[in-house]
Chains A and B, each alone.
Chain A
Amino acid sequence: MEPLIQIKNIHKIYNPGENEVRALDGVDLEIGYGEFVGIIGHSGSGKSTLMNMLGCLDTPTSGRYYLKGQDVSQLSDNQLSDIRNREIGFIFQGFNLIANLDALSNVELPLVYRGIPKKERKRLASLALTKVGLGKRMNHKPNELSGGQQQRVAVARAVAAQPPIILADEPTGNLDTKSTREIMDILKGLHKSGRTVIIITHDDDIAREVDRVVRIIDGKVEADYRQNTGKPSPAVYRKVPVPFSMESVSDKESS
């Protein structure tokens, strides 16, 4: 069975020519269903560029990216939008909630873009918020919530549409120790429930909690190893059980 994510010899070059910056310089990476991966690197190492590639936010200069076996490296903007919507849940360092929408509406957004009817959307969004412990704060605006609570809203938003991949970019970078613990516990829970969770971080404490570490230096994979004994190695590829049918509604917006 093909891996969930398969990256083959990807390059990303900014300013091609004399002052070119090789943000990614021939990266190969495979991530299977249900893995818990930490992509670790210092700032400028290329880990953010890698995260943009993985998240289908950017296209590589050369190389191939197969997501669920589909080559997504040369898709159009709109096709990438659809892939992001269906396959990936983003969690950002700066939370990236929309300020004038309340928690519920923020969580609903990816469901809106998927074209899910209002009633179902509200149900899924409030379910996701309840799961992250914010069932009683659904109608609060982001500025009425603490940093940890805002990040939990962002997590709810990432999981509401049930994407197979959760991509978290420095998810605890702006949080205190207690909130960091909460968010890490939630991410671990997501992994346990069968989702593929990828955390991008420079924080070694966070790196210690994941099953697999991919260390990036100067745009290259410097190390790729498994840790935390008791886990099967090599990676086990398995399908995520999807709790409701996304396929039936996934193409509503294609018009």
Chain B
Amino acid sequence: MEQFFEYVKMALDNIMANKGRSFLTMLGIIIGITSVVTIVSIGNGLKADVLDAANDQNNTFTIQINPEETTDTELVKTEDLSFLKDTLADSISSIYVSAYSNSNCKVSTRKGSYDCAPVLTTQDYENAQYTSPVILGKYFTENDVLSGMPVCVIDELTALYLFGNTDVIGMNFEMALNNSIQYLTIVGVRETSEEFLEAEKQYLAMGMDESISIEMPYTLSQVFGEPIDGFSSLSITVKDQEHAARISQLAVNILNSRHQSQGDNLFMKQRSIDLTDMFGPIMDGVTAFVALVAAISLVVGGIGVMNIMLVSVTERTREIGIRKALGARTGSIITQFLCESAIITGLGGIIGILLGAGLTALITALGIGGIKASLSLPAVIVATLFSCSVGIIFGIYPAKKAAALSPIEALRRM
């Protein structure tokens, strides 16, 4: 082992004696490893983003009245909702019901009048999936719902359309629905995200209507002369995706037993498409393809190393002859030259990993394309092993050539 370190030292001495050339030899490996690490990390980030989005959807499922068994009278009642909410409180993050009016709805202020489709719901809708937080005022309460108060929650964008500013708590506007006109008081305003504003601009440019978002107690439907006493579906978001299947089945069972008269299949669950299953393999395929391309660049780098080592063997014929005359065995020469190429590629690999990590951090910091690239540990390990094996594999031929030199041949060359 001690002897092995001697060869490592010899290799290092020689690399240090030819710094410029050693660096140029490394360059191919550095570039190869940098691109492998960076690309795999970006791929990882993209995959994580897509899967996160997919997981979000996987957390939510909707329970619907089975159309084949439906009767006009059977609907999800608010009592069902509160019962499920109490029973499943520990494992769900939100549960809500919502309905839309079948009739045309128009809202008007001094600034203008707009078509809209108000969401008729309960206080539980505050935390429904994909909704933004309420940033002004607060959501309407259970009491508001029970007593059918003419209140509503809008979003910042709607506030701007209706009033020209977002300071609208307590303001009224006119809603015409089902031939009846009522004044609604704004009690809360939801945030409107930058992305949504961007999208709205494009929709408007395409000639679409303004997006008016209004949420109000479902009991108000009675005031408008179109009473709702139940909902045809119910949405549940679970805290832990792993339990989604079990909890959805549990919820269906509870609902079915609460509506016993209608048989066992009145309610059925519907889950959003499993995006994980869909995107996972695609992303893996893309990553594998890119890694393959990068691996080819590493092989090219390895051939570069072999080339330089071959030149080095020719140049150092005399040195090899001296070493052999002094008692170096074939194995000693091979080890020395293999160490040299392995160190060059290994060092190139380390530099490449550092550069790749730096680039990954830079891309994330600059937010190019909104990518959150995350350094992939397996990529780093594979890159290191790969670059070292490139050094050894492509180093074997030159090393053997060096060791096979006969000492007199080697010494004769002046």
* Residues in A lying within 8 Å of B, measured CB to CB: 52, 55, 57-58, 77-78, 81-82, 84-86, 90, 92, 94, 96-101, 105, 109-110, 112-115, 117-118, 157, 252-253
Residues B332 and A113 in contact, CB atoms below 8 Å apart: yes
Residues A90 and B13 in contact, CB atoms below 8 Å apart: no
Task: For chain B, residues 388 to 406, give those with C-beta under 8 angstroms from any C-beta of chain A.
Answer: 406
A77, A92, A112, A253: residue with the most chain B Cβ atoms closer than 10 Å:
A112
Pairs across A and B, CB under 8 Å, 22 listed: A57-B406, A77-B329, A78-B330, A78-B331, A84-B324, A84-B327, A90-B325, A90-B326, A96-B325, A96-B411, A98-B319, A99-B319, A100-B14, A100-B17, A101-B13, A110-B327, A112-B6, A113-B327, A113-B328, A113-B332, A115-B3, A253-B3
Minimum CB–CB distance for A13 against chain B, Å: 15
Q: Which residues of A contact B325 (CB under 8 A)?
A: 55, 57, 84, 90, 96
Residues A57 and B408 in contact, CB atoms below 8 Å apart: yes
Residues A113 and B17 in contact, CB atoms below 8 Å apart: no
Q: Is B148 in the interface zone, CB < 8 Å from A? A: no
Q: How far is the CA of A117 from the CA of B5 in the complex (A)?
A: 12
Which DSSP category, helix, strand, loop or mixed, fits chain B's interface?
helix
Q: How far is the CA of A215 from the CA of B319 in the complex (A)?
A: 31
Residues A78 and B326 in contact, CB atoms below 8 Å apart: no
Q: How far is the CA of A110 from the CA of B9 in the complex (A)?
A: 15
Q: Is B106 in the interface zone, CB < 8 Å from A? A: no
Q: Which residues of A contact B406 (CB under 8 A)?
A: 57-58
B14, B329, B330, B408: residue with the most chain A Cβ atoms closer than 10 Å:
B329
Q: How far is the CA of A113 from the CA of B13 in the complex (A)?
A: 16
Residues A52 and B408 in contact, CB atoms below 8 Å apart: yes
Q: Which residues of A contact B138 (CB under 8 A)?
A: none
**Which A-chain residue is minimally distant from B326 (CB atoms)?**
A110
Q: How far is the CA of A114 from the CA of B326 in the complex (A)?
A: 9
Q: Which residues of B contact A82 (CB under 8 A)?
A: 327, 329
Q: How far is the CA of A96 from the CA of B322 in the complex (A)?
A: 7
Q: How far is the CA of A253 from the CA of B329 in the complex (A)?
A: 9
Minimum CB–CB distance for B290 against chain A, Å: 41
Q: Which residues of B contact A85 (CB under 8 A)?
A: 326-327
**Which B-chain residue is minimally distant from A108 (CB atoms)?**
B6
Q: Which residues of A contact B14 (CB under 8 A)?
A: 100
**Which B-chain residue is minimally distant from A90 (CB atoms)?**
B325
Task: For chain B, residues 314 to 328, give those with C-beta under 8 angstroms from any C-beta of chain A.
Answer: 318-319, 321-328
